[in-house]
């Protein structure tokens, strides 16, 4: 098997696990939604629609979201109604139904009417509408929706519809065009003014050139000397000004350096204080985190211990219901296998042993019985004196598990035979057990509000007890109903119709050892 095949198998396994987990989540949400009311029911229906979409049950998702929308509208909860409309639109879109964009537009309308701040939901509606417009080739509508998305992301308010957005964009375009025309007019005015100034400068330059042409050579020399003197004088003033500016800059630099030095000292002091405080806070936080982790670990251990103790008393389904609701209801099961076992001559055995020895021996047997039925996935019901009772097909109602019950009964008898051989060598009395098995409908659950105990009731239980009483030590006695289910797996010996107290005659069989 190459690497690609292994990877493909792992991907399939992971996908199947996710699918099963999603199916369980859907069932759990459906159960919770049935029992919930008001806003909680609407939120659970929306979550259920999401789970159904994820699992590919799109028709169910559309119906669930529509139901949530109707309930939110009846209860006047517009925010939840907007969420439900959003899910209904998504389900319709994924299912390829017509007009899913109407649901997104209705969701946007509800959010706008109540002036909601739920921008994430509004953006989700707009993005789905943009995707639909793009696929439909509606370019103008897509641009309008895109403008709404940009406006909403930049902190703007949500408009009623793409039509309103188009009107606003038209107004902005008109204002922009007006501003552009005004700017063009200003540019033309400035250009005209610049041309006029340029013309005036050209006229002045022409006049100066005419004056220069009229000046004599001597006048030109005199003018040049005056200009040189003026430049020299300006240079002296400029140098003195620059020296004064340099002195001022030097003084300013000294004052700035002194100020920076004091500021740096202050910053260093503050940083040291902050570093010290941060270091203290770090160590304090680590200490608190360690204490909190230890407390959380202790809480988890106590929680696990409490859960394990509860599961040791009650089946998982019943325990979960009891923890979730504080009570549990008895349930009807159509097909359940019931096993009874008790010891032959237990009264005589009790006369030969002290009470402590008797209880110790029973504890040894029943612990082994518990271990055996746990291997076969059976449910222990109770012990009454020397009688032991267990059942198959509880609590999930997946069938009576008769083959597993018979296999467990054979393991019990095999272990007892070996144990009794060892006891006889020590001179101790034997514990030979009669085992009876019957199947049929029962009612199972917990009654009362204190000292919870899981039990089963019904005529099936009574017949199973009569079948056990009609058996023999070291043998497994089954009813005709059980025989029809296990005859292909285990050889059986027909005993005939045997009278059972208050039950008439019952077909009974021994399982061959």
CA distances from 513 to 16, 341, 407 (A): 42, 17, 11
Q: What is the spatial distance between Cα 296 and Cα 413, in angstroms, rounded to a whole number?
A: 46
Q: What is the spatial distance between Cα 353 and Cα 343, in angstroms, rounded to a whole number?
A: 15
Indicate which CATH number applies to the domain containing 92: 1.25.40.10
Question: Confidence class of residue 164 from pLDDT cuts 50, 70 and 90?
Answer: low
Higher-pLDDT residue of 204, 46? 46
Question: Confidence class of residue 167 from pLDDT cuts 50, 70 and 90?
Answer: low
What's residue 163's pLDDT? 52
- Shared-domain flag, residues 267 and 350: no
pTM for this entry: 0.44
Q: Kindly state whether residue 232 falls inside one of the protein's structural domains.
A: yes
What's residue 399's pLDDT? 81
What's residue 431's pLDDT? 96
Residue 20 has pLDDT above 70, yes or no: no
Residue 222 has pLDDT above 90, yes or no: no
Residue 17 has pLDDT above 70, yes or no: no
What's residue 356's pLDDT? 95
The secondary structure element, H or E, covering residue 251 is helix 217-313
Q: Tokens representing 108? A: 């946007």
Across residues 181-190, what is the average pLDDT?
A: 76
Summarize the chain as % helix, strand, coil (round to 5): 70, 10, 15
Residue-range definition of the domain harbouring residue 291? 215-313
Indicate which CATH number applies to the domain containing 435: 3.30.70.1230
What's residue 219's pLDDT? 64
Q: What is the spatial distance between Cα 304 and Cα 322, in angstroms, rounded to a whole number?
A: 16
Q: Burial, 409: exposed, middle or buried (Cβ in 10 Å; 0-12, 13-18, 19+)? A: buried
What's residue 263's pLDDT? 74
Q: Kindly state whether residue 199 falls inside one of the protein's structural domains.
A: no
What's residue 370's pLDDT? 97
What's residue 8's pLDDT? 60
Question: Confidence class of residue 346 from pLDDT cuts 50, 70 and 90?
Answer: very high
Question: Confidence class of residue 43 from pLDDT cuts 50, 70 and 90?
Answer: very high
Question: Confidence class of residue 191 from pLDDT cuts 50, 70 and 90?
Answer: confident
Give the 3-state DSSP-derived string for 11-74, with helices as H, strands as E and coil as C. HHHHHHHHHHHHHHHHHHHHHHHHHCCHHHHHHHHHHHHHHHHHHCCHHHHHHHHHHHHHHHHH
- Shared-domain flag, residues 388 and 294: no
What's residue 480's pLDDT? 96
- Shared-domain flag, residues 20 and 102: yes
Encode pLDDT of 400-440 as tens digits: 899 999 999 999 999 999 999 999 999 999 999 999 999 99
Question: Confidence class of residue 247 from pLDDT cuts 50, 70 and 90?
Answer: low
Q: How many CB atoms lie within 10 A of CB 268?
A: 10
Residue 355 has pLDDT above 80, yes or no: yes
Q: Kindly state whether residue 307 falls inside one of the protein's structural domains.
A: yes
- Shared-domain flag, residues 38 and 84: yes
Q: Kindly state whether residue 168 falls inside one of the protein's structural domains.
A: no
Higher-pLDDT residue of 153, 430? 430
What percent of the chain has pLDDT above 70? 79
Q: Kindly state whether residue 221 falls inside one of the protein's structural domains.
A: yes
Q: What is the spatial distance between Cα 88 and Cα 95, in angstroms, rounded to a whole number?
A: 10
What's residue 373's pLDDT? 97
- Shared-domain flag, residues 302 and 343: no
Domain boundary pick from 269, 286, 313: 313
Across residues 250-266, what is the average pLDDT?
A: 75
Q: Burial, 352: exposed, middle or buried (Cβ in 10 Å; 0-12, 13-18, 19+)? A: exposed
The secondary structure element, H or E, covering residue 443 is strand 433-446
Question: Confidence class of residue 441 from pLDDT cuts 50, 70 and 90?
Answer: very high
Higher-pLDDT residue of 399, 375? 375
Which residues, 6 or more positions from 85, have their beta carbon under 8 angstroms from its beta carbon?
Answer: 65, 69, 103, 104, 106, 107, 110
Question: Confidence class of residue 313 from pLDDT cuts 50, 70 and 90?
Answer: low
Lowest-pLDDT range of 17-21, 279-283, 465-469, 491-495: 17-21
Across residues 324-351, what is the average pLDDT?
A: 89
- Shared-domain flag, residues 150 and 294: no
Contacts 24+ apart (CB under 8 A), 122-125: 122/152, 122/158, 123/149, 123/152, 123/153, 124/86, 125/86, 125/89
State the angle between helix axes of 119-136 and 78-95 in degrees (0 to 180), rounded to the nearest 10: 30
Q: Which residues is 494 bridged to in the sheet? A: 509
**What's the mean pLDDT when you consider all of the chain?**
83
Across residues 267-280, what is the average pLDDT?
A: 79
Query: 105-119, 133-147, 303-317, 362-376 — which one is most confidently predicted on average?
Result: 362-376
- Shared-domain flag, residues 304 and 339: no
- Shared-domain flag, residues 338 and 452: yes
Residue 232 has pLDDT above 60, yes or no: yes
Domain boundary pick from 258, 278, 313: 313
Question: Confidence class of residue 235 from pLDDT cuts 50, 70 and 90?
Answer: low
Question: Confidence class of residue 54 from pLDDT cuts 50, 70 and 90?
Answer: confident
Across residues 257-270, what is the average pLDDT?
A: 77
Alpha helix (H) residue ranges in 314-354: 316-325, 346-352
- Shared-domain flag, residues 110 and 234: no
Look at the chain and report how many structural domains it folds into.
3
Across residues 48-58, what is the average pLDDT?
A: 88
Residue 237 has pLDDT above 60, yes or no: no
- Shared-domain flag, residues 31 and 144: yes
Alpha helix (H) residue ranges in 314-401: 316-325, 346-352, 355-375
Q: Tokens representing 110? A: 């509800």
What's residue 325's pLDDT? 72
Q: Kindly state whether residue 479 falls inside one of the protein's structural domains.
A: yes
Q: Report the number of secondary-structure helices (H) and strands (E) in the chain.
A: 15, 8
Domain boundary pick from 144, 160, 176: 160
What's residue 289's pLDDT? 80
274: left (phi over 0), alpha (psi -120 to 50) or beta: alpha
Q: Kindly state whether residue 99 falls inside one of the protein's structural domains.
A: yes
465, 505 contact by CB (below 8 A): no
Q: Kindly state whether residue 166 falls inside one of the protein's structural domains.
A: no
Q: Which residue shows structure tokens 């082994």? A: 368
- Which among 18, 76, 72 has a CA at the least distance from the CA of 45? 72
- Shared-domain flag, residues 386 and 462: yes
What's residue 239's pLDDT? 63
Question: Confidence class of residue 386 from pLDDT cuts 50, 70 and 90?
Answer: very high
CA distances from 455 to 27, 338, 383, 447 (A): 26, 12, 11, 9
319, 454 contact by CB (below 8 A): no
- Shared-domain flag, residues 473 and 340: yes
């Amino acid at each position: 098997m190459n690497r690609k095949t292994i990877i493909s198998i792992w991907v399939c396994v992971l996908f199947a696990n996710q699918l099963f987990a999603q199916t369980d989540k859907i069932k759990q949400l459906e159960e919770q939604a049935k029992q919930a009311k008001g806003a909680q029911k609407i939120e659970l229906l929306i979550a259920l629609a999401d789970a159904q979409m994820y699992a590919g049950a799109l028709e169910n998702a559309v119906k669930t979201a529509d139901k949530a929308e109707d309930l939110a509208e009846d209860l006047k909860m517009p925010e939840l109604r907007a969420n439900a409309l959003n899910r209904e639109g998504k389900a319709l879109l994924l299912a390829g139904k017509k007009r899913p964009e109407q649901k997104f537009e209705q969701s946007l309308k509800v959010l706008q009417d109540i002036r909601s701040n739920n921008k994430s939901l509004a953006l989700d509606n707009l993005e789905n509408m943009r995707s639909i417009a793009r696929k439909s080739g509606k370019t103008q509508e897509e641009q309008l929706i895109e403008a709404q998305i940009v406006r909403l992301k930049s902190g703007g308010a949500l408009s009623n519809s793409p039509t309103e957005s188009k009107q606003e964009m038209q107004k902005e375009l008109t204002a922009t065009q007006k501003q552009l025309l005004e700017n063009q007019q200003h540019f033309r005015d400035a250009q005209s003014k610049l041309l006029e100034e340029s013309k005036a400068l050209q006229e002045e330059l022409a006049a100066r050139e005419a004056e220069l042409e009229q000046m004599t050579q001597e006048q030109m020399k005199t003018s040049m000397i005056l200009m040189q003197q003026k430049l020299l004088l300006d240079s002296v003033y400029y140098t003195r000004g620059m020296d004064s500016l340099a002195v001022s800059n030097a003084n300013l630099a000294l004052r700035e350096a002194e100020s920076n030095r004091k500021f740096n000292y202050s910053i260093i002091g503050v940083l040291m204080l902050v570093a010290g405080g941060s270091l203290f806070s770090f160590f304090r936080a680590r200490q608190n985190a360690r204490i909190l982790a230890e407390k959380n670990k202790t809480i988890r251990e106590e929680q696990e211990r409490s859960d394990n103790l509860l599961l040791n008393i009650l089946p998982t389904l019943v325990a979960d219901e009891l923890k979730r609701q504080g009570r549990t209801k008895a349930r009807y099961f159509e097909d359940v296998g019931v096993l009874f076992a008790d010891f032959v001559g237990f009264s005589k055995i009790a006369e030969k042993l002290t009470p402590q020895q008797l209880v110790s021996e029973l504890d040894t047997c029943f612990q082994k019985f518990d271990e055996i039925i746990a291997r076969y996935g059976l449910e222990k019901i109770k012990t009454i004196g020397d009688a032991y009772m267990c059942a198959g097909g509880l609590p999930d109602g997946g069938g009576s598990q008769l083959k597993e019950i018979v296999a467990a009964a054979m393991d019990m008898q095999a272990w007892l035979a070996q144990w009794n051989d060892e006891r006889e060598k020590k001179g101790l009395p034997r514990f030979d057990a009669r085992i009876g098995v019957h199947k049929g409908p029962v009612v199972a659950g917990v009654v009362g509000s204190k000292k919870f105990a899981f039990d089963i009731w019904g005529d099936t239980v009574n017949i199973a007890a009569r079948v056990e009483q009609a058996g023999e030590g070291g043998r497994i006695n089954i009813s005709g109903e059980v025989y029809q289910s296990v005859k292909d797996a285990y050889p059986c010996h027909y005993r005939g119709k045997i009278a059972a107290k208050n039950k008439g005659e019952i077909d009974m069989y021994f399982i061959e050892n």
